[in-house]
Structure 1
Amino acid sequence: MSSTINNDLYLSSLQKRDTQSGGSSILGKDDFLKILMTQLQNQEPASPMEDKEFISQMATFSSLEQLTNMNSSIDQMISKQSAQTFMLQSGMIGKSVSYTVETTDADGTQQERKTGTVKAVLFENGASKFQLEDGNVVDLSSITKLENKNS
């Protein structure tokens, strides 16, 4: 009885399929498990896979699964932390801020100190920015002073 390996389960076929479908060429835990199962089903009966090889591959699979789970947990934690930071920074709306702006002229780069009132908090590309009532948008790193507008 002769059995053949399905061509779709070869590494090159999996990578080609992922690339064509717009995915990455990196194998995931599902692909690893499919390859391992195919290998077990099609092993030579006269010389089956050694126990050490099987244990090694299962340990690799287990490690891959744990890393995938940890990556997912870290992504969730970062998302929640970003939302919390954004909500905390919304408390700056209506506050007066002093900030520095770098200007370049013929004499070189100079820093100018300006003041404005925060109108809105913006969250772009993982960074907070503050829109002032005069229309300027200021990075958090530029702010040097924060105070109540009534003070």
Structure 2
Amino acid sequence: MRSTAVVVACVLLAGCGDGPLGAAEGAASAPADAPADVATGPDYAGDFDLVGTEPFWAGKVREGAITLDRMEGGAVSLSNPGVRIDGEQGVWDAEQPGEAGAEGHRLVFRLTPQPCSDGMSDRVFSHAAEVWLDGTSFKGCAARTEDLARQGRP
């Protein structure tokens, strides 16, 4: 009886192929691993600074908040909702409903990777920027804060 069990176990083990579930009938070997150089999407991690002219404005993407500061109209800062990738673009879309006696806001930053000049300085930014605040749009440029610092720019 014991020898029968050993024989059955050997037959069952012999039927297993190279892979965990055995090789498919007629297959030369187990499936290949996925290629290591699989392309990933664009990287929008970290801080970004945005600028625009006519009218002058500045924006910031930080871990805790996205902020738009307008020379005329003051600053609006909303909790950073995280970036959403739309093709090659990075989009931050934050909304704060109004409370009793306070106005709500919707602030959207959309960055597109392409060289951009603000038209007023010699700076070249890595991204074009579009900003929407409560239905008003602004166009400008953006770059990672660390890249601007490397260029000696505030």
TM-score by length of 1: 0.29
Task: Point out the structure with the larger strand share.
Answer: 2
Task: Point out the structure with the larger helix share.
Answer: 1
TM-score by length of 2: 0.28
